[in-house]
Every structure is written in structure tokens, then in C-alpha cells.
Amino acid sequence: MWKYLLEKEFKQFFRDPGLPRMSLMFPVLMMLVFPFAVSMEIRNINLAVVDSSRSEESSRLIEKCISSGYFRLVSVCGSPDEAMRLMDDNKADAILTVGSDFSRDMETGDGLPVGVKVNTVNGTKGSISAQYLQNCIRMYMSGRNDSGTAGMPGIDVTERYYFNSYMDYKLFMIPALIVIGITMITAFLPAMNIVSEKETGTIEQMNVTPVSKSAFIICKMVPYWTVAFFVLTACLLLAWAVFGFVCRGNALWLYLYTTLDIIVMAGLGLLISNYSSNTQQAMFVIWFFAVIFMLMSGIFTPIASMPEWAQAITYLNPMRYYADAIRAVYIKGSTPLDVWYDAAGLAAIGAVMVGWAIASYRKSS
């Protein structure tokens, strides 16, 4: 009996016009397109310069900024107002103002005759631009001091990035993308599948057969679990083949945490399908959860920088634990002993979800 139920689900899966292609395209897109698209590295910042000093010193500073590769010089303006206008017209993202006393002040070391203004309509871009600009200025200063004459006692700060030595954003995002993909596949696709059986009435026909409901539901989910593990494997292989990234830790732990996540998501998927009577409703609920899961998981923005009430919410988000664990294992080489709390979080949420889902499923019959 189980064999036939499974056979039917797989048959339907492969006959679906979209699903098989989607499960192939998913890892490819996730690994080859998204890491570039979601990169937080900011390049091509449009820079306007107001150079009141017009000295050799100031032009060397400007050159230093441009040669960093992050900035594109839009124009050298005569007045601050002109530069402001450029920013208002969205032609400049940042303005560097060099005071008229620049070269003299540099000699004496008084004050800071350099101003930085950034456009923070896009907050991330703004703060990163400001940081880059400051870095360039600091580098210029220290460069001057090295060769310099009456130099200031510069503090030499060197940074070293652990686990991701080049601060490669792709390495940071790849495990997160895997997390998003697996969650979508294992929670939302089965939910849609079950709801669509509800909609077409086939579930009714199934319920008058001697097949138990649990057997029916489990057989419905198995194809998606298979796909999830396929996607995970394909992503790991692609990340290695294309970017040369390998999992620092034992890849087995990735599979372990994925299994845990799948259990949580199976519960969530069943819950959604129990409470929605048509695919439209289900879609909306799914969309709601997907957005919350992603934004409150620490995937894009660090949880530590959220306000406390928001941090409290993240504790209810299974993706928080899953993403944290996968990143730790993949980038840092952690073992489940190091991130046991992620396993505990997933297990706790999973127990509640699955319990609730089964209870509400029984009641709906």
C-alpha cells in the first residue's frame, strides 16, 4: 500500500509541469545567481567632490579615493551647494568636501578640514560608503605620515577576519541561501500540494478509502524531502565547483540539521494546509511566514542589532536556529556540540508544530 501511495506521489511530482524543473533550477539559481545578487559589497559609489583647497595635497587625497575602486568621480564642484544639488538629483551618493586650509592644516595637524556627506536613502549603501570614504582618508593620512615629515602619531589598526579571511560576502550568503531554499521546499510546497487536493476534492475520495490519514500525509511529503536533500547536495557541490568553497565542518552535520529543519517544516506545512481551504489562502499564509522567517532569522541583518522585542521574536523562528547552525558548520566548522542550542531550538519548535498539526488535523476530520 505504502509503495503505491509513494509511487503515485512521485508520478504526480514528475508529471507536474513546473516542479521537476524547479527543483533542478533552484540550486543552480541559488548558487550561481543569488550570491552575486544579494551581495552587500558596495561598488560604484557616485562621488562628488568639493575641493576648496585646490592644492597638490587635496588632489592626491581625491586620487586616493578614486583609486580604491569603490568610487566613481561624478564631478568636482566649485561650491557645496552645487554638490548638494547633485545629491538631490540622485547623481551623487557621497560628497567629499576638502576645506580651503587643507594643506596648511595637514602640516600643523589642527582640526579636520575634510567633510563627508552621504546619501542614506539606502541605509546600507550610505553607511558603507561613509566607512569606505573614511578608510580612504585614513589611508591617505597614514601614507603621508610614513613618508611625512612632521607626522602625527598614527595608530596602526590592522584587521583580521576570522573564518572568512577576505570578508567574501558569497561565502557568508551561500549557507543562508541553502537554508531559505530548503525551508521553501519542505514547508510550503507540501502545504500547497495538500491544499490543492482539498480543493479538487480528491482528499475526500482518499478519506473514504481504508488508507490512514497519516500514511497519506507522510507519503505526500516524502517526495519533497527527497528533493530537499537533492537540493542541499547539489548546492554544496555547486559551491565547491564554482566558488571553491567547501564545508569547513563535517557535511554530515549539515544533513543532520536539515533533517531537524525538515521535521519542523513538515509540521508547519501540515498546519497551514489544515487551516486553509484553498490555495489562495494558503499562498497568503505562506507568504506571511516566508517574509517573517527570512527577515527575522539573522540571514540578512544580524540579530544582535535588532531591538530587544524583535530579538525575542526571533527565538520563535525556526529559520534562526537552522541558519545559525548551517553557517556555523559550513563557515566555521562547528560540530553539533558547539551549536547544540540550535538543535534544541529546532527540536522544541518542531515538537510544538508537529503536535499542533496532528491535533488540528485529527479535529478537522
**12 near other proteins, rule: CB under 8 A:** yes
* Positions 322 through 341 that interact with other proteins (CB under 8 A): none
Residue 67 binds to other proteins (criterion: CB under 8 A): no
Q: By CB neighbour count within 10 A (0-12 exposed, 13-18 middle, 19+ buried), where does 76 fall?
A: middle
Tell whether residue 1 is a contact of other proteins (CB under 8 A). yes
DSSP states along 46-98: EEEEEESS-SHHHHHHHHHHHHTSSEEEEEEESSHHHHHHHHHTTS-SEEEEE
Q: Is the dihedral of CA 28, 30, 32, 34 positive or negative?
A: positive
- Contacts with other proteins by CB under 8 A: the residue count is 20
The yes or no reply on residue 18 touching other proteins (CB under 8 A) is: no
Window of 148-156, 200-208, 237-245, 295-303 that interacts with other proteins by CB under 8 A: 200-208
Q: At what angle do helices 251-275 and 279-295 cross, to 10 degrees?
A: 140
Among 32, 43, 204, 252, binds other proteins (CB under 8 A): 204
**From residue 144 to residue 183, what is the string marking binding to other proteins with x (rule CB under 8 A)?**
----------------------------------------
Q: Which stretch binds other proteins (CB under 8 A): 11-19, 79-87, 124-132, 146-154?
A: 11-19
Minimum Å gap between C-beta 228 and other proteins is 22
Choose the binding region for other proteins from 75-83, 199-207, 235-243, 255-263 (rule: CB under 8 A).
199-207
Task: Identify which of 98, 101, 103, 113 has the alpha carbon closest to the alpha carbon of residue 148.
Answer: 103
Where does this chain touch other proteins (CB under 8 A) — which range of 92-100, 198-206, 273-281, 296-304? 198-206
* Sheet order of strands, 45-51 included: 71-77, 45-51, 94-98, 114-118
The distance of Cα 334 from the centroid of its chain, to the nearest Å, equals 20
- For the bound state, the minimum distance from the C-beta of residue 2 to other proteins, rounded and expressed in Å, comes to 11
Our finding on whether 207 is near other proteins (CB under 8 A) is: yes
Burial per residue of 316-347, b for 16 or more beta-carbon CB atoms within 10 angstroms, e otherwise: ebbbbbbbbbbbbbbbeebebeebeebbebbe
18, 123, 153, 210: which one binds other proteins (CB under 8 A): 210
Nearer to other proteins, 145 or 196 (CB): 196
* Pairing assessment for the beta strands 94-98 and 71-77 based on DSSP bridges: unpaired
- Beta carbon of residue 212, minimum distance to other proteins (angstroms, whole number): 9
Among 130, 211, 290, 306, binds other proteins (CB under 8 A): 211
Q: Pick the closer one to other proteins by CB: 229 or 275.
A: 275
Residue 236 near residue 23, CB atoms below 8 Å: no
Give yes or no for residue 214 binding other proteins (CB under 8 A).
Answer: no
Q: Is residue 196 at the binding interface for other proteins, with CB under 8 A as the rule?
A: no
| 36: CB partners within 8 A, 6+ apart | 170
Q: Which is nearer to other proteins, 1 or 312 (CB)?
A: 1
Q: How far is the CB of 206 from other proteins (least distance, A)?
A: 8
Question: CA 160 to CA 1: how far, in whole Å?
Answer: 59
Rounded to 5°, the CA angle 186-188-194 comes to: 100
Q: Does 21 bind other proteins (CB under 8 A)?
A: no
For the chain, what is the radius of gyration of the CA atoms?
27
The answer to the question of residue 208 lying near other proteins (CB under 8 A) is: yes
Q: Which helix (H) or strand (E) holds 237?
A: helix 213-238
Residues that bind other proteins (CB under 8 A): 1, 4-5, 8, 11-12, 15-16, 200-202, 204-211, 365
